[in-house]
A and B are shown apart, each in its own frame.
Chain A
């Protein structure tokens, strides 16, 4: 048995390591915000200063102006996010139900195929998909960014299936005896019970669409259609690494909605990630 003194010393050491690691993890974000509030000359000062001599809030409106149509980009991003979230929640829930709560011949084999598709990275398929969307005349529109979401994603199906499987079979049986249709059971009984899981999928998809860079890069052609991620990259490449205070302000602006969403839904969020790692 370890002695209490030794145990306390151990916990103190753990705490000290966590403090150091915590500082290291927070420092980059703190530096980003700090830089975003500095006058230009202080961004380069040596040794670095954390607190600007005067907090320069106008970096934010300046960055918004320099990025061009910031609010238009934000609107584009939001539109793509909302459509993708709607599409993937509806279609993935349907498919996950089919994999979790109806027993049909060959189900396990088909599910195995679904898991295998997660191994196919987007760059591998992006050329034919680009060709497909080009034939449809969709290049330069938002459609390539949200239409695929209506055809379910393997990861979201996997996640929702985990939740659906956890519900007892009796619920469905009872409803079936009462003459409820399969879709009725799905829509009126199972979905309401799985609202937290649907929220998790919605959150993950929102973030994925908000963060997506490669999709907008290849499918969008005109500046006015850019999403925030693409607009930020284009702003950065125009700047060529000079106005760091404006770049950091723009980055902070793109990050804030993500952080806000996280803090509002922290509990579901963390549970969702834990589930994705094979818990249950």
Chain B
């Protein structure tokens, strides 16, 4: 049984949002295409305002378009897997395989090898996982996939904690953030500041053909990065920041705003790299202090007083110094070379 592709019906009118139907056809997003795949279709069980659901649909629809719908997706255990396939339903309109938490990259390697060995090398492979499945439990297989330069696009949806199991700290949880295992109590509330686990840079260290970061705030940028990744064969890595209203303690309607602020503050640098070298950055047009990003999230509430003023100046200054370091390192205030 093949999936019936009915054109998507758009309801909003005169908007520059998802539709982008006010710009010329060739510049419109894959999301605004009535023939879009709807790879992750409606009816799934994600929370309202889920950044991961948004990111996954954007990314996979773009990958589907780029591969002419000849795509297989492999999924790590996590929110995306759980909310998309509650028995006996599935939201996936493409061939989709979930095996385990830490093995998505290796399973995808196997899918690609199996397709090649059986004469279907034109079918492309995407692996996807959250930050836990990518940065922590799945890092070994991911590194192996990179090192062998297997023909897989791996997409990490980073919401900076183990949201599926109830918001526990992961290797990408930022310092000071409250999680269920780094409570906002004691002398240093929230997550302790470590060295961080910068996955895009870990990927770049493998000198793979393509590494990029993106957020759900910039649909065109995200889609174009997926398309560029799909033009290349070999190991590719896309790291998408996906705010999580549940885990971050943010308002559902702030998901895109938070993703944008993460970029504008410098906390989440948006860039592309080829063979280990940064080749483009998305400049910060309207720089914002980190407070404006932190203030919207209950996971950082202990840094502010009841009036919303900064209470823990030292910690906010430390977070600002991390943002400033990113701005300097990637030249985020300079001109884009896009």
Q: Are the chains A and B members of one assembly?
A: no
Q: Which residues of A contact B (CB under 8 A)?
A: none
